[in-house]
Chain A
Amino acid sequence: MNTPAFLSAQQLRKSFGPVEVLHGVDLDLAPGTVTALLGENGAGKSTFVRILAGDYQPDSGTIELDGVPEHYSVAGARRRGIRLISQEISDAPALTVAENVVLGAWPSKGSWVDHRAVRREARAALDVLDTNLDLDALQSSLRLGERQIVEVARAIRGESRLIIFDEPTAALSDAEAKQLYRVIGTLTARGVAVLYITHRLDEVFAIADRVCVLRDGVISLSGAVSDTTPSAVVEAMVGRAVERTRGEPRSFQESEPALEVQRISASGFDEVSFRAHRGEIIGIYGKLGSGVIEVAEALFGTHPLHSGTMLVDGRERTLKGPADAIAHGIGYLPADRAHDSAFLILPVSENLAAPSWSRLARLRTFMTRTIDATAYRRWHDALGIRSTGDPTQPLGTLSGGNQQKVLLGRWLEAGSKVLILSEPTRGVDVGAREEIYAVLRDLASRGTTIVVASSDYEDIIGVADTAMVMIRGEIVARIPHNDITVNALTEAAGGTIHV
């Protein structure tokens, strides 16, 4: 590259407690260039990005802006023209599009908002992006892709030099994603540097000039997109997963089906059918918004089915809710741990025993701390939970992976015969991920039926006996054991990789 870099990171290191997450990362970001940053979960992507955005300070290493070493905070990063557009959209649904564009930096005359300037500046920002959104439309009336455009418009107000996109298309439709690519093209034409975080290979080859892969806190690949191939990127990113020994296929013809659904439909998916035998692990793979999570929720009865039948142990069941599902021997690990599954302020032992309380209690009513503690100890070692060993320790004091093990233990204690897992390794580090896979395989070998619904192909490759792939609420592919690979999964899910 001939243009001097706007931002140059050199030998960035960062540790959290005793764990070093980044082991000396170098990266140059040039004006007018799109650099794609890839890496599996836990590779250190988000830590790296938060350092660039001024949210974390590196333990060592330097960041040079226009050749000058600088230290800066989040506010400082903004002053220097660095913008981060994070995965979660943060807008004000009750305000108009124009107001959302200027959110946080309202044009004003003295203390009064200058409404005419609000419209003018918002129009200007949206014009740059070549979109014709209605300035007076309420933000809440917009589709997801349009809201993302408003986020971009807000980011490019004032002088922006570097815009960091954190997996912007994860939840977008193809058409919406294309619109975003156009916007990025407009930005780079104006000399803005773009850092684009993604896990979709097709995007890298469609829009990026340079590609950079992080693996376990080091750069495993860095170079021009034209000099590399998809298979080289895959290897740099998930090399381990490609090599993963998947074991021999197991046969389930002999064992009876434990869970069977016939043409079930509900909000988010249509006509889904499959059969899971005793001891079988079914993987359902699909991007966010593909309906994978909705299927998992439906199997646990959180929402009623619109149509179709569900059979548990060969008998037709209509689940009236989670309590009903639990009574039929089904357990569920939701995707959003903090919101739907963890009692972070309560003791680990209560977190583990909660679904079993009425069975464990004396006369189904009276509880003591010992009852919870006994249940906790029963699974503590088997699950390899790393904790102080104190059953009254609040769950929130454990790491993400260990929290997930406690929450998995919840269903072991409940004696669930069918386990539904949604994004089981989200926010879990690499080591704990393997341990969770080992627990799942072990559970299956003892006859538990497991359904893993995930947008992370590692989960599917790691444990599934059979995989299904979903796009827009429909099952588009069924992949037998021996053919479950990264390529097979991502290709079926619409990420066209031709390796």
Chain B
Amino acid sequence: MSETLTPTTAAPKSDVIARRRFKVPETAALVVFLIAEVIFFSFSSRFFLSWDNVINIVTALSVTGILAAGATILLIGGQFDLSIGSGVAWVGLTFALLNPVIGTAGAVSAAVLSGLIIGILNGFLVTVVGVNALITTLGTMAIFRGLTLSIGEGQSIGVTGFDWALIRPFLNIPLPVIVFVIVASLVALLLRNTVYGRSIYAIGANPSAARLVGLGSKRNIFIAFLISGLCMALAGLTSVSQLGATSGTTGLGLELAAITAVILGGTSLAGGVGSVSGTVLGLLIVAVLGNGMTLMNINSSWQQVATGALLILAVSFDRLRQTVLRSR
């Protein structure tokens, strides 16, 4: 204890300098698992490690990945969004219906707006009305799925003149992959290096304390739902362009795929813990598993079994690790 309360202004003394001890990152186990997966599948299929197949894998995860980036923010903040799969279909429908009427630019704007509307509705219900996020988004999930089915009359609606997602500007990489990389990088930057991101971790870690240090919990959570709505818009526009059509069943189950990847990537359901890099690893692990099993000619139903089992194993492993760490 110093005699008087003087802030340290000089260069930090040795005992307080951040000791850059080597720390094993929390995601290390995931990297090891991913490498093991890659080694296993490269032995079972010669095609697996080809550039074309690598492109296949990342293309397949790009729509889910865009959604998972937004979901990562919400889960770290202790929230949840189940409406993202329905949102993709809703955005797709908005675009497909308006594209022939008001042109591509107008339809894109309307589609973005339609995604934001879901985000605003979710954010309003959770932060202003105070409904639990799980219940709110379970409701909006059903509402927007139902609206999409009813307005689109359950039909598949074709889209013409909107095939940007098929463009492969360099190295044969399609644009959706690049969009995904940009979104993931932006969200990573937002979470790691902005006051907003720090606040989201703090709100997830202890909402009451966050309020009492003036971090504006409600406003920040509202913004997180808006970002999730924006991700729906991007994912919806990507999906409709990739498929050249949209229908009532577009994006079915995407919310679960995205949240699975986020949790697999080490983000805690209790909030306060997680990262975009973890989410990307989670996405890759699931996508590689699916792709490898397809190449091995294993029925896609079994891929679902494998993904589900993997999620439970990963979380159980993490629980076990924490129990061991705590008991030491």
**B8 and A379 form a contact (CB under 8 A):** yes
Contacts of A344 in B (CB 8 A): 205-206
A165 in the interface (beta carbon within 8 A)? no
Q: Which stretch of A21-29, A125-133, A380-388 is in the interface?
A: A380-388
Count of A interface residues, CB-CB < 8 Å = 51
A339-B208, A343-B209, A343-B272 known; A350+B214 contact, CB < 8 A: no
A227 in the interface (beta carbon within 8 A)? no
B311 to chain A, nearest CB (A): 22
**A377 and B6 form a contact (CB under 8 A):** no
**B195 and A358 form a contact (CB under 8 A):** yes
A493 in the interface (beta carbon within 8 A)? no
User: Which residues 162-200 of B have a CB within 8 angstroms of A?
Assistant: 193-199
Q: Which chain A residue lies CB-closest to B206?
A: A343
**A355 and B214 form a contact (CB under 8 A):** yes
A70 in the interface (beta carbon within 8 A)? no
User: Which residues 1-41 of B have a CB within 8 angstroms of A?
Assistant: 1-2, 4-9, 12-13, 15-19, 21
Most buried by A among B7, B193, B210, B272: B7
Q: Report how far A391 CA is from B16 CA in the complex, Å.
A: 8
Q: Which stretch of A73-81, A360-368, A466-474 is in the interface?
A: A360-368
Which of B7, B18, B202, B216 is the one whose CB lies under 8 Å from A373?
B18
Q: Which chain A residue lies CB-closest to B201?
A: A346
Q: Which chain A residue lies CB-closest to B203?
A: A343
A285 in the interface (beta carbon within 8 A)? no
A57 to chain B, nearest CB (A): 16
**B198 and A354 form a contact (CB under 8 A):** yes
A354 to chain B, nearest CB (A): 5
**B4 and A442 form a contact (CB under 8 A):** yes
**B7 and A388 form a contact (CB under 8 A):** no
**A367 and B213 form a contact (CB under 8 A):** no
Q: Report how far A114 CA is from B234 CA in the complex, Å.
A: 59
A367-B193, A367-B194, A410-B213 known; A382+B16 contact, CB < 8 A: no
Which of B16, B198, B212 is the one whose CB lies under 8 Å from A380?
B16
Q: Mark A414-437, 1 if CB is under 8 A from B, else 0.
A: 000000000000000000000100
Which of A345, A364, A410, A435 is the one whose CB lies under 8 Å from B273?
A345
A365-B194, A365-B195, A390-B18 known; A378+B202 contact, CB < 8 A: no
User: Which residues 384-400 of A have a CB within 8 angstroms of B?
Assistant: 384, 388-392
Q: Which chain A residue lies CB-closest to B271?
A: A345
Contacts of A446 in B (CB 8 A): 5
Q: Report how far A315 CA is from B17 CA in the complex, Å.
A: 43
**B205 and A361 form a contact (CB under 8 A):** no
**B17 and A354 form a contact (CB under 8 A):** no
Q: Mark B210-230, 1 if CB is under 8 A from A, else 0.
A: 111111100000000000000
**A389 and B16 form a contact (CB under 8 A):** yes
A443 in the interface (beta carbon within 8 A)? yes
Q: Report how far A380 CA is from B15 CA in the complex, Å.
A: 11
Which of A321, A364, A378, A439 is the one whose CB lies under 8 Å from B8?
A378
Q: Report how far A412 CA is from B5 CA in the complex, Å.
A: 10
A322-B214, A389-B19, A443-B5 known; A346+B193 contact, CB < 8 A: no
A-B contact pairs, 29 of them (CB 8 A): A322-B212, A323-B214, A334-B212, A340-B206, A340-B209, A341-B209, A342-B206, A342-B209, A343-B202, A343-B209, A350-B201, A350-B202, A354-B202, A357-B195, A361-B194, A365-B194, A366-B195, A367-B193, A380-B16, A381-B8, A381-B13, A382-B7, A389-B15, A389-B19, A390-B19, A390-B21, A391-B18, A412-B7, A439-B5
Q: A343-B206, A357-B195, A382-B7 are in contact. List 11 more A-B contacts (CB 8 A).
A: A321-B211, A343-B209, A344-B205, A345-B272, A345-B273, A354-B213, A361-B195, A367-B193, A373-B18, A380-B16, A384-B1
